Structure 1
Amino acid sequence: MSGHHDHAHSLADDLKVIETMMARRRALKWFAGAGTAAFVAGCGGSDGSSSSVSVVSSGTAAATPTPTATATATPTPTATATSSSTACIADPTETAGPYPGDGTNSASGSTSNVLTVNGIVRSDIRSSFISTSTVATGTLLTLTLTLVNVNATCAPLAGYAVYLWHCDRQGNYSLYTAAAESYLRGVQVTDANGQVTFTTIFPGCYDGRWPHMHFEVFSSQSNALSGRYAILTSQLAMPAAVASTVYADTTTYPSSTANLARVSLTNDNVFADNTTAQIAQQTPSFSGSVAAGYTATALIGIAR
């Protein structure tokens, strides 16, 4: 990405690490073993050893790795979802990357944990809430996620917490490559329908990765705010057609069109080994326009 040459260098490092991992279990093993500065060498953003980090110190979460769910990454077909005509499957575990800000990684000897900061529980995640009030600009997106139990005929999971984070329109992550900011991160708790809704922007596409969003699921808000005990860490893939339409605005998304042209779902280092069914569930359904903003929905399958 223009102006972020450490993107490419760090991506090369990522690929070397990721290519050694075994199919679906690669991210789980890597995530579970990363609790120090070495974790910053993961995937996402301008993920490099020279990244600048705005640190939120937390003595309660320390650098404790976040245990992930015992659910297998292999799709688990179940009965038809109660609110949908399609069957749900368990979402695969994916890497959190080096920029989760959830207490599982560190830089310069300090732990970055935005989950323990007042204000992280919010629906509109476009503004920073720690040291500045900067609002992230870009194409408006209202995203609704529905959590379901794949072992109980896709029944909705109420009272679960979802932590969502993603890069800004230029491919930078708050707290890290946008070090002064804390935007595009937030936690919501699922309602009786198993749903959470976030108001955000469409993420940019940075060099080497398909446009995406990160999320972690916790069994309760208290677990989420302790910055540990995630039962699922995964990612959402943005639809190709919508991405191309959004990125046509090169003033708002200056590098995304060129970066998107160099990557595909089949060679992306996170999504490439997923099944067709997994990719379909990980890709939100969109409606709307650049001018009016988009609404999107996605099903998140959890094996409980």
Structure 2
Amino acid sequence: MTGNETAQGPKHKRDLTRRKVVVAGAGAAVAVGVGASFAAGAFADESGKSGTSGASGKKSGSAETCYRLTSETTEGPYYIDADKIRRDITEDKEGIPLVLNLKVIDSETCEPIAGAAVDIWHCDALGIYSGYESLSTGGGGGTPPTDAPTDAPTGEPPSGEPTGEPPSGGTGGGVHEEPTDDERYLRGTWRTDKQGRVTFRTIFPGWYRGRTVHIHTKVHVDGEWTDSGYEGGHTCHTGQFFFDEASVLAAAEVEPYSTSTTERTTLEEDTIYDQSGTTGGLLKLKYNKKNIAKGVVGSITMGVDPDATNTGT
């Protein structure tokens, strides 16, 4: 599904248990690339509201909106269970600044879950994952290895409509691969506050063969925060965040995304996204429609079952 640009234009132009993680040093890298000042300003505002399109309308005594249980998805092959405790995961990667405002609540009680450890990880602007650069199926040219793993289910290639049942319970997807390098950009873990909120600064992800644009996430609870990181507990949610087509098409006009020669899978074609909107991980996005390069703010609330175990493997 990978190809170079043709006379008709780039391929991206389509139609509309134990955990222990190491604390990063205090001097976390600032966002780089176009519009970094936008990201810095948005990152400072951690009281922003999350997306609500998946709300059931149910209210708790504290006036919190109650959300349906967020869809479980595959972990994918590129998870590393030993990441850095940090909110800025950009390192030196170029791309459109993205501020990700997340909130974690108990889908039964509607109450925020404080002290949870939230992981996020995703590919760079050209579809490359840190830790797996030699296996990643994105890039700015050439043909990726035919045996390179993806986190899309095996079988028939994506079509206009998803086939089979929507993913649930962490089934399906690529088999975990051991890291092939020591890079750890665009990966990080942070603690939810008393309101269940956590904010990350990163870049708008690119795309790679067989998958729409997405970000992976895990939520860990009942563990212990120590001076060295987070230990113990269990994973109650494994999911993915998704971007609407309008934002992806806008981003695809900006360098370095515009240099990608990898054919893009649309949101409708993706076999992991269950087409259920916020419940399925679709982010609420804010950005300048005339200049997305200034930066994007994405928000979502995850309704989870803290007593469940969903590892996505």
Name the structure with the higher helix share. Answer: 1
Distance across 1 between alignment mates of 2:113 and 2:88: 22
Equivalent residue letter for 2:249: S
Distance in 1, Cα, partners of 2:248 & 2:75: 22
Aligned AA (2:130): S
Residue 149 (structure 1) aligned to one of 106, 110, 113: 106
Structure 2 vs 1, CA of residues 228 and 95 (structure 1 numbering), >3 Å: closer, same or farther? farther
Q: Measure the CA separation in 1 of the matches of 2:302 and 2:287.
A: 22
The normalised TM-score by structure 1 is 0.60
Q: Assess, with a 3 A threshold, how the Cα gap between structure 1 residues 159 and 226 changes in structure 2: closer, same or farther.
A: closer
CA RMSD of superposed structures (Å):
2.9
Higher relative contact order (CA 8 A, sep 6+): 2
Select which of 251, 255, 259 maps to 2:260. Answer: 255
**Deviant stretches of 4+, over 6 Å:** none
Structure 2: state its 5+ residue gaps: 5-17, 21-53, 135-180, 307-313
Which of these residues, 211, 217, 220, is aligned with residue 218 of structure 1?
220
The secondary structure found in structure 1 opposite 2:89 is coil
Gap change, CA 1:228 and 1:207, over 3 Å in 2: farther
In 1, are the aligned partners of 2:243 and 2:282 still within 8 Å (CA)?
Answer: yes
Give the distance between the partners of 1:139 and 1:216, measured in 2 at CA.
23
State how 1:204-283 maps to structure 2 within 5 Å.
Answer: 204-220=206-222, 222=224, 225-226=230-231, 229-255=234-260, 259-260=263-264, 263-271=265-273, 273-276=274-277, 278-279=279-280, 282-283=281-282
Residue segments in structure 1 that go unaligned for 5+ positions in a row: 4-59, 63-74, 103-113, 128-134
Task: Classify the secondary structure of the residue corresponding to 1:155.
Answer: coil
User: Residue in 2 aligned with 1:41?
Assistant: none
Deviations 1:270-289 (A, max 9, x none): 11x4545633xx11111123
Query: Structure 1 residues 83, 137: CA separation in 2 closer, same or farther (over 3 Å shift)?
Result: farther
Output the TM-score relative to the length of structure 2: 0.59
- Matching residue's letter, 2:284: S
Using the aligned pairs only, state the percent identity.
29
C-alpha separation in 2, matches of 1:167 and 1:242: 17
Output the CA distance in 2 between the equivalents of 1:185 and 1:266. Answer: 26
Find the aligned partners of 2:275 and 2:193 in 1 and give their Cα distance: 29
Residue in 2 that maps onto 1:136: 93
1:95 aligns with: 74
Counterpart of 1:264, as a letter, is T
The aligned counterpart of 2:284 is 285
Task: Note the alpha carbon deviations across 1:175-215, whole angstroms, 9 max, x for none.
Answer: 11263421000001001111000000000011210100000
CA contact (8 A) 1:218 1:231 kept: yes
